[in-house]
Chains A and B, each alone.
Chain A
Amino acid sequence: MVRFFTRPFAKRSRSAYRWFDERTGSTELVHKGLYEAVPEKGGWAYTLGSATLVLILLQLFTGIFLLLVYTPSFTEGWGTLNFLQTNDRFGAWVRGMHLWGAYVLILVIGLHMLRTFFSAAYKRPRELNWVTGALLFFLVIGLAITGAMLPMDQAAYWTLVVVTNIPHYVPGIGDGLRQLWRGSDFVGQQSLTRTFAIHIWVLPFLLFTLIGVHLYLLRRHGEFGSWVNYTPATADPEKELAERLRRAEPPYPTRRSERRWAVPRRTVEFFPTQLFKDTAVSLLFVTVIFVFGYIVGAPLSAQGNPATLTYVPTPEWFFLPLDQVLLLAPGTDLIFAGIALIGVASVLMIVLPFLDRSRERQPLRRPEVLLPGFFLIALLILLTVIGANRLWNL
């Protein structure tokens, strides 16, 4: 023991690390995490998944800090945030980052999905990577919308009223669902308490559980990448495939995959080649959030007033397509039809790998999937633009 304290520092710390490593296997764990093969081509496109993870962790981090001041109270909640906005520059900055983090996260998770959709990475055996990813997308949207209800300014109060009213249109059980969310027929303190619990516990718990499954599946099957990594480079594709399978590095060859798509032509190590790109892209997004969170920040309108006759409730930008559907469909049946249509589209999106079972991975050779997909995206953008235009002219 005495020798431990008399040896030079470098030696001491090395032996301390060895002690720790022998008991925890930390080096092996880090190596397992870092030295994985990933497809060589298209690495910049595959950074969106890790960027999504970074942005979710940023939301967790900034969200925990907001809990240090915010009180989920109908009467006091707004005041706690107003205090941040007027008296605490850093608090307002953290709040700004939480808001801009949510905006960027929605965009990035959308792009991540789009990339996966375009390169058909959801096909066998990665169907459940897609299903968990799609569920994660909806959880993020759920977190964004419940988060928008909490500040108890006018915008938040009216979001709380309108969004908790949507389940009311489900035939039969609608009123019950609305009452369970609100805790009462009318929006009151219980509605905020429940939405707060959903935002900080229920949805994050589901989110992080699913992220665990999503990452486990990613590591089990390996990154698919896209078709460009699998096109044969030689005149004898059969021989080349056999050679690829023979030389495959873990996690390849992908189990339960067709021979043709089991091993990328060339791979690189995750560390440092891919991790560098991941870090660069995450750095870009976090910088945007850091800057916008400070300069633009998060708006806080006047304290929520259920008796206002002048305030015009407007949805967050990511809810504009839904709002536009509500506008276009008059009468109880049509409103339900509109909401049901969005529900059906969401379910179809989640089960996409079970609808598109062809083996084709080349985007240009599967228009039957890509065209409806792009039509849907165009529709979302169109509804957003029409909605934004309507609000602009209000």
Chain B
Amino acid sequence: MSTPMSRRRFLVRLTNAGAAVITLMLSIPAIGFLVSPLFQKRTVSWVRVGDIDNVPIGLPTPFVVAMPIGQGPPGPPVNRIVYVVKTADSRLFAFSNTCTHMQCNVHWDPGLSQFLCPCHGGLYDLTGNNTGGPPPSPLPQWIHRTLVDPGTGHTILEVQNTFDESI
């Protein structure tokens, strides 16, 4: 037979239980709030880049696009680069200028005929493949589509505020 609990011991247990409940009640909403960005739905939207008929073949041409963040509370869109590339075999690319190494701003270097990242010297060729430096994967592309402007018959490029692969 177990000995009856003393009044003192009972009070200590009750105090501990009370403190535990307070901690729990503070933790559940706080931790949920902390990790909630991981579970929020991403709003995907199409953004118009512009008329790409004049983009020369073999020369990456940068367009500035006001890109909605698409996550979290409403905030201002952020200007991002869309590098439009047309190749001789008539392929179309819509690269972001985000380096896959540390997300610095790559630019097309006409001298090197490659995309160059100024931070750590990452290099990509015309079609975004890695040609040197530390980047672990090819240059990301914005998810994109083309439409024909019914008025002018020109090709219009639109991009989504997401990459075709996660970097």
Contact = CB atoms under 8 A, between A and B. Distances in A.
Is the pairing of A and B real? yes
Interface of A: 74-75, 158, 161-162, 165-166, 175-176, 179-180, 183-190, 305-313, 323, 326-327, 329-332, 334-335, 394
A306 B80 contact: yes
A185 B70 CA distance: 9
A331 B64 contact: no
Contact of B69 (A188, A323, A326, A327): A188
A307 B79 contact: yes
Given A190-B73, A309-B97, A74 B78 contact: yes
A175 B118 CA distance: 24
Contacts of A307: 64, 79-81
A161 B37 contact: no
A311 B106 CA distance: 10
B104 A326 contact: no
B37 A179 contact: yes
B121 A327 contact: yes
A335 B75 CA distance: 32
Contact of A311 (B81, B105, B133): B105
B119 interface: yes
Contact of B79 (A158, A166, A305, A310): A305
A310 B119 contact: no
A152 to B, nearest CB: 12
22 contacts: A74-B78, A161-B104, A162-B104, A175-B166, A180-B35, A183-B37, A183-B72, A188-B71, A189-B76, A190-B69, A190-B75, A306-B80, A307-B80, A309-B97, A310-B107, A311-B105, A312-B118, A313-B105, A323-B120, A326-B101, A330-B133, A330-B136
A303 B47 CA distance: 24
A170 to B, nearest CB: 14
B126 to A, nearest CB: 16
Contacts of B104: 158, 161-162, 313
Contacts of A394: 118
Contact of B71 (A161, A162, A183, A312): A183
B84 interface: no
Contacts of B67: 186
B136 A326 contact: no
A335 B103 contact: no
B28 interface: no
Contacts of A310: 107
Given A305-B79, A306-B80, A162 B134 contact: no
Chain B contact residues, majority secondary structure? loop
B69 A176 contact: no
B19 interface: no
B102 interface: yes
B41 to A, nearest CB: 12
B37 to A, nearest CB: 5
B34 interface: yes
Nearest to B132: A330
Q: Sorted from nearest, which 3 A-B pairs have the closest CB atoms?
A: A189-B75, A184-B71, A188-B69
Contacts of B105: 158, 306, 308-309, 311, 313
B38 interface: yes
A327 B134 contact: yes
Contacts of A323: 120
B72 A161 contact: no
Contacts of A179: 37-38
Contacts of A186: 67, 69, 78, 80, 161
A51 to B, nearest CB: 35
